[in-house]
Structures are given as structure tokens and as C-alpha cells.
Amino acid sequence: MNHRHGIALGIVLLALAPWVLPESLVTILNYTGLFSLVALGLVLLTGIGGMTSFGQAAFVGISAYTSAILCNSWGWSPWLSLWVGLAFVVLTALILGALTLRLAGHYLPLSTIAWGLSLYYLAGNLKLLGGHTGLSGITSIGFFGLSIDTGRRFTYLVWVIVLLAIWAIHNLLASRLGRSIRCLRGGRTMAAAMGVNVARTKLLVFVLAALLAGVSGWLYVHFQRFVNPTPFGLTYGIEYLFMTVLGGAGYLGGAILGAGIITLLREWLVEYLPVLIGQQGNYETLVLAVLIIFTLHRAPDGLWPRLAQLWGPRERKSHSQNHTAAALPLPQRGKHPERGTTVLQLTRATKRFGGLVAVNDVSFEVRAGEILALIGPNGAGKSTTFNLLSGVSPATSGQVNFLGQDITQMESHQIAKLGMSRSFQHVQLLPQLTVLENVAIGAHLRGSAGLAKAMLHLERGEEQGILQEAQRHLNRVGLGAQAHTLAGNLALGDQRILEIARALCADPCLLLLDEPAAGLRLQEKQALAKTLQQLRGEGLSILLVEHDMEFVMDLVDRIVVMEFGEKIAQGLPAEIQSHPAVIEAYLGSVE
Ligand code: ADP
Ligand code: MG
């Protein structure tokens, strides 16, 4: 049975389930659907986006209460109140996101606990929201004259929505926007260097996750027809996270699996535990906790990947293999400036890390159509210079000009937009994506399809264009045959080459390469040199950091030498070779 058959079978079973399952299991199926929606949001936010939230239940509550009040007091139709509820959810998420998403480390999860608690107490104390007693007699959802007031009818409504959500998120994750979302966990610096506005992408994911929770809240309140603060408190916020992590936070299927297992187990435990141990009490929570800890100890990525293994290994396909839309040509990004003119100018730049001066009063320029090498012993400040040029960490003082613009204080993604692209000394890629998909991240700025198009998979032409462009650059650097292997499986040297293809995919006018030849064999180095020469021939300007003197001497036009954060020499390769200060620096160092 292949993947598609599995999905089809699942849908048929779901359609039959309300008719063959006993009422109690239908209820569990319904709750699984409701919880799955919230958990799907958490997969996006936590599993894929790397932002932990204990506060999703609050978003469920905001939409539930809004809809309940509008329908109860104002006689609105649930189909109308849905949108108002979701609007409140978006508004709250935007405000909370703007305030908290910049927080690093444990502060974000802590702040989600704070807002997770606040709605519970707010709802409990506000008369308008019915206090702790809650609101009852809420209308059920009508569908073309049919009232969705039985468990069986509700199963269809909730699961159609769950399946649509899965389909849309699946599409999103396979799109250009989705690739930038995947970068949020462990690839933020790289994504920014490829032009991704990381702060905005984080906010987008946060709002999406909140929206999914909001839809769940709306369904919940009109199914239950009663609402009080309990399901929107911190306990549920934590439980949603448990479901996601238990099922597998990195997988859409994990959300459903986790929601299903916890809902079912809780129901059984509530029923049978008192019989087993002979007394009443909330022991189910304790048993669930132990089970979760045990499972996560055994399967830290959650249960979904284990289940998927039983299915047999599945070659991860990129969308390029899935659809055959005609590729739209990608826009070219600006012309190369005239050969010999100044592209990049660094003026008296200094970078301090506390007491350490990593770059000290360094000035140099890169001219259009040249390859300039930045060399120097380890720790000389070369990578730090790259970082201040590309906006990864701005200079403490001094100025950087790029194509006539002052970019000293610009953010990485803004600089990328101007036409600078780079690779990293410590390779930064998404090991779980294919080589092709990783390179496609480089083309981020050349696509424009937004969220809606990505979710409905209406950006096929553009996506195909991006993937073709990625393939073209892979072919160019000699990695064409490996396009569909996972990037994490490449040898380290090839991963560096992948980074060059990715940087080229942005169609830059200045390329910054940090030790691109490290780890390459002689033949591969020669091939790389040839590619770089070709790029120079096309008018591209290249600034590269390199250790291998031989590689540099034959290839580059000019050399800048750094030592202990300072520029000690600058000139043609032949001049540098015989420069006394350079010889001293190299012979004097431990290399
Ligand atoms: P190179 O690339 O020439 O080998 P680097 O630019 O990586 O050198 O490092 C220059 C100096 O700055 C080193 O002493 C390094 O330890 C220090 N350094 C680099 N990045 C940081 C940082 N983020 N915080 C503190 N010190 C740093
Ligand atoms: Mg370095």
C-alpha cells in the first residue's frame, strides 16, 4: 500500500466511522478532531517553527467566547460569529506575537504560560462571560437547514475541517513560504541571509497556529453548546503540547495521532482506573504523565515516525517530482554594475565582543567583476568581517556601503534584497530537506506567492520556476545528480558547494563565500575555481575567505590580509606572496 492509498483508506474509514462506532467512540473521535486542530497549529509553531507555546488554549477560548456571546446575546449565526471570533484571535495573536516573539530562550514559553493563565482568570471573573459558571444554551451550527446537533453530524463537520487544514498546511510546507518557515528552527541566520524576513515569518506562523486553535474553539462551543473557563486554562494549554510532542511535533500526522491517543487514553483511564484501584480521584493525569515520559524516553521524536516506519521507508519527495506545471521564468534581480566600479566599501569598521576587538579599524573595497580574497590566520576576524558586511551582526563602529547605499545598520534580509548573497563557514542547511529544496531557499526573493496561494497550491508555475532555477545552479556546481538526496546525507565538502548553489540562486551581484574550498579534494577545488572564474566572467563580484594559499593565488585578482582583527596588507597575489608582514603572520602562526 503506498502513501496515497493509505490516505484514501483513512478517509473512507473516517466517513464510515460515525455509522459503525458506538456513540461513546464517536464522541472521542469528535474530540480528537477538535484537539487535532490545535495540535496541528503546534506542529507548525513548535515542531517546525521551533517556538514553544503553552498558551494555545487561550486562543481556543477567545474564539469560543466571542462566538458564544454573539450568538447568545445578539442572535448571530455561528457562521458569522466565526469570523468575528477569528478576527479577535488574529488581533490578540498579533499583539502577543509582537510583544513576545522576539524573546529568546525560555522567555517565550514562559510568556505563553502568562497569557495562558490570564484568559482563564479573566473569563472566570467577568460577568459578561458568565464567570466560572459559564454560558449555556448556545446555538448549534446549521448547515443548509440541517442542524449539526448530533455527534454523528458533528464528526463530518469537524473532520472535513481537519482534513482541509492538513491539506492546506501540507501545501504550505512544500512551498517557498513553507521552506522559509522550516528555516525558523535552526536556520534563522541563513534564512535571513537569503532574504527571508524572519520576524515576519515567525509572526505569520504564530497567527496561523492561533487561527487553527480559534477554529477549534468555534467548533467546540457550538458542539458543546455550553462554555466555561476550564478548557481554556493552562492545564489544557499544556495538554495540547503533550499531544503534539507525543504524536510527533515535526509531523502533521503526529498532531492527529497524539490528539487521538491522549483523548482515548484519558477516556479509558477515567472509566477503568477507579475500578482497578478501587478508589476515586484524578489518577488518570498521573498515569498519562508517566506514559508520556516513558514514550518520549523511547521515541523522542514522537510516535508518528515510528508508525511511519511500519509503513515501510518512504523516499522523501520534493514537489518537483509531484507536479508538472509549466515553469514561470523567475525575475532577474538587477544588473551587475559596470566592471571596475566599487560594489562594496568597508570604511574603518570595528567590531567588539565585550573586551575583545575582533575587527579593528578595517577598510577595503570590492570592485565589480573581481574576486577579492580575505586571508589570514585562524581567529583573524575574517568571518566576523563577513558577518558585519552581511548584517548578521552589525559593526560597532565604521561604515559599510553597498552599491552606493549605507547598509551599516541594515538587517540581513534587507541587505540580501539589495543583491548580496553569502555562504557560511559553518554550513547552515536544513538536513531533513532535499538538496534541491535547500538550494531553492536561495531563490526566496525571486518568488512572490503569498500565504493563500501557497496553501491552495496555486503557485505551481512559480514553484516550478524556482525548482528549475535551483536545479540549474546545482548542475552548474556539479551537484545536479544529488538533487533529490537529503542535504544532511551529503559529505561536508558537498554541503559547502550546496551553499554556493543556494547563494547563486538568489541571482546576486556580490557573493560572499566563507572558506568554500575547506574539505574539498584537489579535483573538486579545481572544479570550484573554474566555476568561480566563470561567475566572474559573467560580471559577478566575489569576496572569499580561504586558507589554501595555492587555491587563492591562482584564482583571485586581489588579496586583503588580516591578522588579530587588523588589516596588515593588501595587493595583488604576487605582492602579497612576498610581503614581509604576511610571511611573518603565516609562519608565525600555528597553522
Ligand atoms: P576567522 O574567521 O578569521 O577565523 P573569526 O572572525 O571567526 O575569525 O573570529 C575572530 C575573533 O572573534 C576570535 O577571537 C573569535 O573567538 C571572536 N569571536 C567571533 N565571534 C564571536 C562572538 N559572537 N562572540 C565573541 N567572540 C567572537
Ligand atoms: Mg572564519
Our answer on whether the CB atom of 46 is closer than 6 Å to any ligand 1 atom is no
Our answer on whether the CB atom of 392 is closer than 6 Å to any ligand 1 atom is no
Q: Is the pLDDT of residue 393 over 80?
A: yes
Across 336-349, average pLDDT: 92
Q: Is the pLDDT of residue 284 over 90?
A: no
Q: Is the pLDDT of residue 591 over 50?
A: no
Q: Whose CA is nearest to atom 27 of ligand 1?
A: 353
Dmax over CA atoms of the chain, in Å, equals 90
Q: Whose CA is nearest to atom 20 of ligand 1?
A: 384
Q: Using CA atoms, how far apart are residues 120 and 187, in angstroms rounded to an integer?
A: 35
The three cell numbers locating residue 383: 568571518
* pLDDT for res 320: 46
CA-nearest of 315, 394, 375, 331 to 567 is: 375
* pLDDT for res 586: 76
Our answer on whether the CB atom of 353 is closer than 6 Å to any ligand 1 atom is yes
Our answer on whether the CB atom of 382 is closer than 6 Å to any ligand 1 atom is yes
Could you report the per-residue pLDDT of 495-514, keeping only the tens digit for each? 999 999 999 999 999 999 99
Strand partners, 146: 143
Could you report the per-residue pLDDT of 143-198, keeping only the tens digit for each? 888 888 888 999 999 999 999 999 999 999 999 999 999 999 989 999 999 999 99
Contact 371/512 with Cβ under 8 angstroms? no
Our answer on whether the CB atom of 389 is closer than 6 Å to any ligand 1 atom is no
Q: Cell 490545535 belongs to which residue?
A: 38
Distance from the CA of 529 to the center of ligand 2, in angstroms?
A: 20
Q: Which domains does the chain have, with CATH numbers?
A: 22-232 (no CATH), 336-419+508-591 (3.40.50.300), 429-507 (no CATH)
C-alpha 310: how far from its chain's center?
Answer: 28
The ligand 1 atom at the shortest distance from the C-alpha of residue 385 is 6
Our answer on whether the CB atom of 351 is closer than 6 Å to any ligand 1 atom is no
Across 16-27, average pLDDT: 92
The pTM of this model reads: 0.93
Q: Whose CA is nearest to atom 24 of ligand 1?
A: 353
Among the listed ranges 71-80, 284-293, 507-516, which one has the minimum average pLDDT value? 284-293
The ligand 1 atom at the shortest distance from the C-alpha of residue 378 is 4
Q: Is the pLDDT of residue 578 over 90?
A: no
Among the bound ligands, name the one nearest to the CA of residue 378: 1
Q: Using CA atoms, how far apart are residues 567 and 528, in angstroms rounded to an integer?
A: 27
Across 389-418, average pLDDT: 96
Among the bound ligands, name the one nearest to the CA of residue 387: 1
The three cell numbers locating residue 323: 507536479
CA-nearest of 328, 363, 159 to 256 is: 159
Integer angstrom CA distances of residue 479 from 470, 539, 540, 588: 11, 23, 21, 38
| Ligand 1 pocket mutation pick from 384, 392, 512, 543 by most atoms within 8 angstroms of CB | 384
